[in-house]
Amino acid sequence: MLHYAYRHLTSKLLVLFLIVIFQTPLVAQPDGAALFKANCTACHVTGEDVVVGPGLKNVHLKYKEDWLIKWIKNSQAMVKAGDAQAVKVYEQFNKVAMPAFSLSDDEVKAVIAYIKAESEAAPAAPAAGAAGAPAADAGAAAGSDNFPLILLLVTILLIALFLILNRVQKGLQRIVDQRNGVPEPVILRGKAGVKHWIREHKKLIALLLIVGFVWGSVEGWNALAGIGIQQGYAPDQPIKFSHQLHVGQNKIDCRYCHSGAEKSKNAGIPSPNVCMNCHKYVKKGPQYGTTEIAKIYEAIGWDVDKQAYTGKTKPIEWVRIHNLPDLAYFNHAQHVKVGGVECQTCHGPVETMETMSQFSPLTMGWCIQCHRDSQVKTENNGYYTELHEKMKKQYGPDVKLTVEKLGGTECARCHY
Amino acid sequence: MNKPAVFLSALAGAVVVLMTSCGKDTKDPGLEFMPDMYRSPSYEVYSSNPNFPDSLTMQAPVKGTIPRNYTYFNYPSTIEGYEAASRDVKNPLPLTEANVAEGQRLYGIYCVHCHGDNGQGDGNLVAIGKFPPPPSYSAGNSSRGGAMKDLSDGKIYHTIVYGINLMGPHATLINPEERWKIVMYVHQLQGNAATPAAGDSAVAAKDSSTTTAMAK
């Protein structure tokens, strides 16, 4: 144990040592990390991935410092002047011109020093965290999936135990009876036995019948009432997209991807070009690695290696969750933009959903209830200025102006 | 206790366990009563369609056509187009408080997760290390030359439409009017914009409709 702790300590000291080594020279000079962040990260990473320009890992080993300084200050001049190495780099990365940067030699050197430090420090730290997390997740998931099965097994075992013990007890009782000279009871078999048992257990049977009837009625009622209601429906989707990750952790607004929610009847399922705004860069997810993101690339026809579109597209067949019948009209823009209703009011805590599920029943009763309860936000609401004035006159200034009072429960509002 | 009683109670126990342990199957939409109106015989927006070679009901508009009232942004996605847009294009919307507020709201939807609340390139995605930071609007340098705080109307609009470097094109998400409001707000974040007029113009009154309601 002591030995283990000691080893832990040395590794910590080593990290500290490395940090000190790579930080000290940067303190006096320009801050390479800040310069890199301000000027380079739009196109480059310190790892190996090609983003817009190449990944800069170990770039200090590939090129001489003088050449790098010249290149960073004005790469296009070098290409035009016919510098062989410059032309090669330019052509290798799809002839995307790197702009000229007005940095001093010292500043460029600081940036190169930062890349050097990152190249050498990079591999150890993130790998350990990334490997640990999914394993734990997988364990937890497997546990919850097996739960009913384990319960069933335990129940069967308990019943078996009960039966065995019952037999043993009866056997022992028989032996005791024999010893005491009690005559063996007459055991009735077949029809007569059943009849006898029923006569003996009228109360138990009545109780079971009552319990069964009540339970059956409740279940039956719920089953009938649940016909056509898909509340809780959470089908497997072709891409395992996690709202918990994108909304909960990354805090991307719902309306970034579902930009139709404010403008149209449909909130809209984002087309893959919206995914590509981030996933051109993010090629690996925390849970499924590259497999799920690769499906976006396949759908939109993006060649990761060449960083170019192939033109071969394939629609993603998402499974519809929320489905209103054609007889009912619903408009997202009217509710989100005009009414100011939060997405979560109807869709629930989407930011916590790993798999998207239907939160609300979407029944007519549910719609009507909300139209009766919700107060219309008339303040600064230009959509109904005239109507609001009229309503205020009709009902008086203090009345709660609900959607129903604006005619929101009339049949033809939704059924036409 | 005799045998039938044991079997009966065991059976009842097993049934109860079976019924309560499984719960509702969330992968199954359940029974449907008269499913005709749920499963539309007509083609719906996102339903597949055998009449088109790409199997989509929602087809892209015919090439060269534009919607009504659509302002066409006739500048290519090149550095020349970018400079030309900077020269020729001015924000058509009046600089009012309402427009800036709406711009701020839209910025909060479409831009904030990377560019950050104050446009410093420190949005949540950057803060949690998932995406590299874009340059600050007030202090950074543009990869296409010049300081970010000097970016003109046309340059910001061009960038929203086509994207640049790691920023993807946002033309399909943000309509022209919204883009101009965002441009207006980005100017505020650059730190050298004029103060917006307080008075409500006709446009401003209409747009302010949901600003307060939606602001979180």
Tens digits of residue pLDDT in B17-76? 555 544 567 888 877 777 767 887 888 888 888 999 888 898 888 888 888 877 788 888
Q: Distance from B176 to chain A by nearest Cα, in Å? A: 13
Is the pLDDT at A167 greater than 60? The verdict is yes
| More confident of the two residues B213 and A274 | A274
Q: Where are the alpha helices (DSSP H) in A332-403?
A: 332-333, 343-347, 364-373, 385-395
Report, as an integer, the average pLDDT of A398-413: 85
The predicted structure's pLDDT at residue A54: 79
**Is any Cβ of chain A less than 8 angstroms from the Cβ of B77?**
no
Is the pLDDT at A128 greater than 50? The verdict is no
The predicted structure's pLDDT at residue A306: 83
Q: Which two tokens stand for residue B183?
A: 């441009």
The predicted structure's pLDDT at residue A350: 92
β-sheet bridge partners, residue A309:
A302
Write out pLDDT tens, residues A67-93.
Answer: 788 788 777 777 777 787 777 777 777
Q: Which residues of A touch B212 (CB under 8 A)?
A: 379-380
A13-22, A114-123, A391-400: range with lowest mean pLDDT: A13-22
CB contact under 8 A, A42 and B164: yes
* pLDDT band at residue A237 using 50, 70 and 90 as cut-offs: very high
**Is any Cβ of chain A less than 8 angstroms from the Cβ of B55?**
yes
Report, as an integer, the average pLDDT of A121-132: 47
Q: Give the containing element (helix H, strand E) for A87.
A: helix A84-92
B182 and B110 Cβ atoms separated by less than 8 Å: yes
Q: Which residues of B touch A235 (CB under 8 A)?
A: 27, 29
* pLDDT band at residue B15 using 50, 70 and 90 as cut-offs: low
Write out pLDDT tens, residues B88-110.
Answer: 888 888 888 889 999 999 999 99
Angle at B20 between CA B18 and CA B26, to 5 degrees: 100
Residue entry with tokens 């993101």? A293
**Is any Cβ of chain B less than 8 angstroms from the Cβ of A256?**
yes
Domains of chain B, by residue range, sit at: 83-211
CB contact under 8 A, B10 and A204: no
**Is any Cβ of chain A less than 8 angstroms from the Cβ of B48?**
yes
A20 and A115 Cβ atoms separated by less than 8 Å: no
Report, as an integer, the average pLDDT of A294-321: 89
Share of chain A above pLDDT 70, in %: 85
d(CA B117, CA B120): 8
**Is any Cβ of chain B less than 8 angstroms from the Cβ of A253?**
yes
- What is the rounded average pLDDT for all residues in chain B? 80
Which CATH number, 1.10.1530.10, 1.10.760.10, 3.50.50.60, 3.40.190.10, labels domain A2-125?
1.10.760.10
Is the pLDDT at A2 greater than 50? The verdict is no
The predicted structure's pLDDT at residue A123: 54
* pLDDT band at residue A165 using 50, 70 and 90 as cut-offs: very high
Which CATH number, 1.10.3720.10, 2.30.42.10, 1.10.760.10, 3.10.20.30, labels domain B83-211?
1.10.760.10
The predicted structure's pLDDT at residue A243: 93
- What is the rounded average pLDDT for all residues in chain A? 80
**Is any Cβ of chain A less than 8 angstroms from the Cβ of B65?**
no
Write out pLDDT tens, residues A185-198.
Answer: 777 777 888 888 88
Is the pLDDT at B87 greater than 80? The verdict is yes
**Is any Cβ of chain B less than 8 angstroms from the Cβ of A382?**
yes
Closest CA to A343 of B109, B207, B133: B109
The dihedrals phi and psi of B141, each to the nearest 5 degrees, come to -110, 145
**Is any Cβ of chain B less than 8 angstroms from the Cβ of A228?**
yes
Q: Which two tokens stand for residue A53?
A: 């320009």
| More confident of the two residues B202 and A63 | A63
Write out pLDDT tens, residues A331-354.
Answer: 999 999 888 899 999 999 999 999
Domains of chain A, by residue range, sit at: 2-125, 147-185, 186-227, 363-416
Is the pLDDT at A150 greater than 50? The verdict is yes
The predicted structure's pLDDT at residue A10: 53
Position A158: which residue type? L
Write out pLDDT tens, residues B147-196.
Answer: 888 888 899 999 999 998 889 999 889 988 999 999 999 999 988 777 77
* Global ipTM: 0.79
**Can you give the pTM of this predicted structure?**
0.67
B84 and B75 Cβ atoms separated by less than 8 Å: yes
CB nearest to A39's CB, from B1, B33, B141: B141
Report, as an integer, the average pLDDT of A305-317: 87
Instruction: Name the range with the highest mean pLDDT among A159-163, B73-77, B119-123.
Output: A159-163
Report, as an integer, the average pLDDT of A375-402: 79
Interface A-B: count of C-beta contacts within 8 A: 191
Q: Distance from A4 to chain B by nearest Cα, in Å? A: 31
Is the pLDDT at A131 greater than 70? The verdict is no
